[in-house]
Structure 1
Amino acid sequence: MIPSAPDPVPTPTAPAPAVSMLRLLGGFQVSQALYVAARARIADRLADGPRTVAELAEAADLRPELLRRLLRTLAAEGVFGYDEPQDRVTLGPLGHTLRTGAPGSVRNVALMWMETHYRPFAGLWQTLHDGIPAAQAELGMPFFDWLGKDPARIATFSGAMGDMMRTVRADALAAVRLDGVRTLVDIGGADGTALAELALREPRLRGTVFDLPHVVAAAPALLRDRGVADRITTEGGDFFTAVPAGADCYLACFVLHDWNDAQALRILGRVHEAAAPDARLLLVETVVGEGTPPEVATLLDLTMLGMLDGRERTRDDWRTLLADADFRLDRVLATGGPMCVVEATRMPRTARV
């Protein structure tokens, strides 16, 4: 008897366009699954090695038969590994990014985005008709006003911004050069993560973390923990009204993108009023079409569209905005990540007609 030939192995092909589109359309479901995994601390529970679905479910007080389906979905995205015969879960290539406090972790971002950004984005259609940010329509007030009404929301937001500073903005912060800078004010400095890192790098640097009073309240503890509280102070206030005066360098990490041009000009105006002559201005921001990978800027621009009045800007946008506020754009420094360092110098006030 002649043995039958084995069935041919199908040649892998690229997914059909409709399949690729379905994956994009299902993104909202995946983001919620990631939120559940982050909130349940699944990645934390796998830090010491594999565990069964039953063990994870018991530890997180979840239903094992439902958790299994969620983890199987996230395993297909590289977040976890799932051994079906043993019903056992491991960390996947992306799993460490959901571990609390791990290098590269964005767990706090997963919590914050799903608790603050998810529902408003259902109103994106209306935003493109009336120009009102979807978050403002959903929440009944501007996003930052709503955020400031609840200490728990503030803590979640501050944690997410800390994650962003340690991951997405890390390369840009490492690229910041402070040659000759003696005093620096970090505008919108939140919990002081950025200025603390710069102070550790520059032993002679003195400075101030400046933000809204309820936001900057978290900074003193962090500055003490980092051992820089003797050189770095904190101050609460509103950067639309005034900022600490007399520094020879002002830093704003991921701040101006939150605001439209008119609002950004008001902030820059307060910095210009406060800054010493020829002071330097350093902006850690995305620059559309630049950075690695450049698509981060367009994704963040979509976030701004739904949540705030701000936007991501091109190099020419930054040059124009800075010139209108009497700052000279010196250069845009690309880094190893998606953020750039926009360097500018304070110029004398231009007479306005």
Structure 2
Amino acid sequence: MNESPAVTAVRMTMGHWIAQCVSVACELKIPDLVADGPRTADELAEACGAHPGAMLRLLRALASLEVLAQTADGKFEATPLSEQFRQDVPGLGPYARFVTGAESWRAWGELLEAVQTGRTAFELVYGMGMFDYGREHPVRGLIFNQAMTCFSVTVADEIVEAYDFSPFHMIVDVGGGQGLLLAAILRRNRSAQGVLFDLPHVVDQATEVLDDAGVADRCERIGGDFFRGVPPGGDAYVMKSIIHDWDDKRAGTILRSCRQAMDEEARVLVVDRIIPERLEPTFVDQRATLMDLNMLALSGGRERTEEEFRDLFESADLRLEASLPTPSGLSVIEALPA
């Protein structure tokens, strides 16, 4: 049964409340604590070092959202949704922790000024860019890198299903983080070699991911700065959720770094969302447009239309060849030397 516009409007105004309930649950690792069986509010409060009465109020809200379920005797137990938010198993826990966490929360609080001025909200709050902040606060930076790996877990298989990587012998993952996507590509393509390229402290975090995937012996890790250049010799340069982090000037610099490293037969593969010219009220379009605002709030980047990608590629002596959508709303956007 469809709800009334008034109820939908009220539900929208509650969105930030819901996000903060999820944020606190993830910070306190409540989904992990109930994974082995139902717990009382007092037991969870003691395990988390929280106030018992306040914990009960949070748990009730989480139960109403189906993040938890309440048993007949008043305990709180796991649900399929709480399993998604666990941090001790693969899932969305680290991603949710970053997206709903303190830095994102404070930055989104300045969205009005960002919209009025065009300035990046994160910089208004913290006086520096998000990636500089992560370097100066390594614990928070690690949370971001874990979040990106977590998100890659959910989309890596559909990326390798959407695009045929088998023709490539050397695949360079530019800004590849902890290596989850590159590991998935190399697992599927046993004859290929890989280069994981990111900041030195980031590629140092990739050991576990590459070892667990069984591809460490086929993957070289190189630390560096993609604004200054990328490793030469690749026949595919992959960038997932990298170009959208930056404005056109800086995104163009990254693409030109790739173009300078490429030979005439190589490819650039940008994995990002494409905003359609005509929007529909679907989850995919909502995710794309809200992620676009998230870039305004956090990094100063943007999501782009296909035509905007075409222009961006042309500025780097590349031409858009094809775009292949995936079920999550990401597209694999292929560009060739112009």
Task: Give the TM-score category using the shorter length.
Answer: over 0.9
Match of 2:201 in 1: 214
| Aligned-partner SS, 1:51 | coil
Moved more, 278-287 or 71-80: 71-80
- Measure the CA separation in 2 of the matches of 1:29 and 1:279: 47
- In structure 1, the residue matched to 2:335 is 344
Cα offsets for 1:132-185 (capped at 9, x unmatched): 101001011111111111221121111101111112554224423112100011
1:204 aligns with 2:191: yes
1:294 positional shift: 2.7
The answer as to whether partners of 1:300 and 1:312 remain within 8 angstroms in 2 is yes
Normalization by structure 2: what TM-score? 0.92
Kindly indicate whether the alpha-carbon contact (under 8 Å) linking 2:98 and 2:104 is maintained by their aligned counterparts in 1. Answer: yes
Aligned equivalent of 1:6: none
1:195 is matched with which residue? Answer: 182
Q: Distance in 2 between matches of 1:259 and 1:88?
A: 46
Distance, in Å, in 2 between the alignment partners of 1:79 and 1:285 is 29
Question: In structure 2, which of residues 227, 245, 249 is the aligned counterpart of residue 258 of structure 1?
Answer: 245
**Aligned partner of 2:93: which letter?**
R
Instruction: Tell me the residue number matched to 2:143.
Output: 156
Matched, 1:109 2:95: yes
Gap regions ≥5 residues in structure 2: none
**Is 1:67 aligned with 2:55?**
yes
1:312 and 1:92 mapped to 2: Cα distance?
Answer: 33
Mapped to 2, the partners of 1:169 and 1:310 lie a distance apart of: 22
Could you say if the C-alpha distance between residues 101 and 282 of structure 1 is closer, same or farther in structure 2, counting changes exceeding 3 Å?
farther
In the TM superposition, what is the alpha-carbon distance from 1:15 to its structure 2 partner? Answer: 4.1
Contact 2:178/2:205 (<8 A) preserved:
yes
Secondary structure in 1 matching 2:270: strand
Deviation at 1:251, TM superposition (A): 0.3
Find the aligned partners of 2:22 and 2:56 in 1 and give their Cα distance.
Answer: 14
Q: Assess, with a 3 A threshold, how the Cα gap between structure 1 residues 15 and 292 changes in structure 2: closer, same or farther.
A: closer
**Does the residue aligned with 1:230 lie in a helix, a strand or coil?**
helix
- Residue 26 of structure 1, aligned match among 1, 14, 24: 14
- Please give the alpha-carbon distance, in whole angstroms, between the structure 2 residues aligned to 1:81 and 1:304: 34
SS for the counterpart of 1:189 is coil
Q: Name the residue aligned to 2:264.
A: 277
- Once the 2 structures are TM-superposed, how far is the Cα of residue 331 of structure 1 from its aligned partner? 1.2
- The structure 2 residue matched to 1:223, chosen from 202, 207, 210, is 210
How many Å apart are 1:315 and its aligned residue? 1.5
- SS of the residue 1:148 aligns to: helix
Q: Please provide the CA RMSD for this pair.
A: 1.9
Q: Which amino acid aligns with 1:209?
A: L
Contact 1:52 1:86 in 2 (8 A): no
Q: Which amino acid aligns with 1:71?
A: L
Q: How does 1:54-93 map to 2 (within 5 A)?
A: 54-83=42-71, 85-93=72-80
CA deviations over 1:104-157 (Å, ceiling 9, x no partner): x21112222313211111111111222210100101111111111122112111
Matches of 1:102 and 1:293 in 2, distance apart?
Answer: 26
* 1:101 CA displacement: 4.3
Aligned residues: 333
Q: Structure 1 residue 333 and structure 2 residue 324: aligned?
A: yes
| Worse-superposed segment, 17-26 or 73-82 | 17-26
Q: Identity of paired residues, percent?
A: 36
Contact 1:280–1:346 (8 Å) recurs in 2: yes
Which residue of structure 2 aligns with residue 134 of structure 1? 121
Deviating more after overlay: 93-102 vs 176-185: 93-102
Looking at structure 2, the residues matched to 36 and 173 of structure 1 have their Cα atoms a distance apart, in angstroms, of: 34
Match of 1:123 in 2: 110
Other structure's SS at 1:233 match: strand
The answer for the alignment partner of 1:247 in structure 2 is 234
User: Using a 3 Å threshold, how does the CA distance of structure 1 residues 116 and 169 change in structure 2: closer, same or farther?
Assistant: farther
Equivalent-residue separation in structure 2 for 1:317 and 1:169 (angstroms)? 25
- Aligned equivalent of 1:302, options 273, 284, 293: 293
Given that residues 171 and 339 in structure 1 are in contact (C-alpha distance below 8 angstroms), is that contact kept between their aligned partners in structure 2?
no
The aligned amino acid for 1:66 is A
Matched position secondary structure for 2:87: coil
Could you say which structure has the higher helix fraction? 2
Listed one character per residue, the Cα deviations across residues 73-124 of structure 1 (whole Å, up to 9, x for unaligned) are: 12222211123x5111122341111112434x21112222313211111111
**Contact kept in structure 2, 1:249 and 1:282, CA below 8 Å:** yes
Secondary structure of the residue aligned to 1:119 is helix
Are 1:38 and 2:38 an aligned pair? Answer: no
SS of the aligned residue for 1:179 comes to: coil
Tell which deviates more after alignment, 158-167 or 215-224: 215-224
Q: Which runs of 5+ in 1 are unaligned?
A: 1-12, 348-353
Please tell me whether Structure 1 or Structure 2 has the larger radius of gyration of its CA atoms.
Answer: 1
Paired with 2:58 and 2:14, the residues of 1 have a C-alpha distance of 14
Offset at residue 344 of structure 1 (A): 1.8
Distance 1:176 1:193 in 2: 16
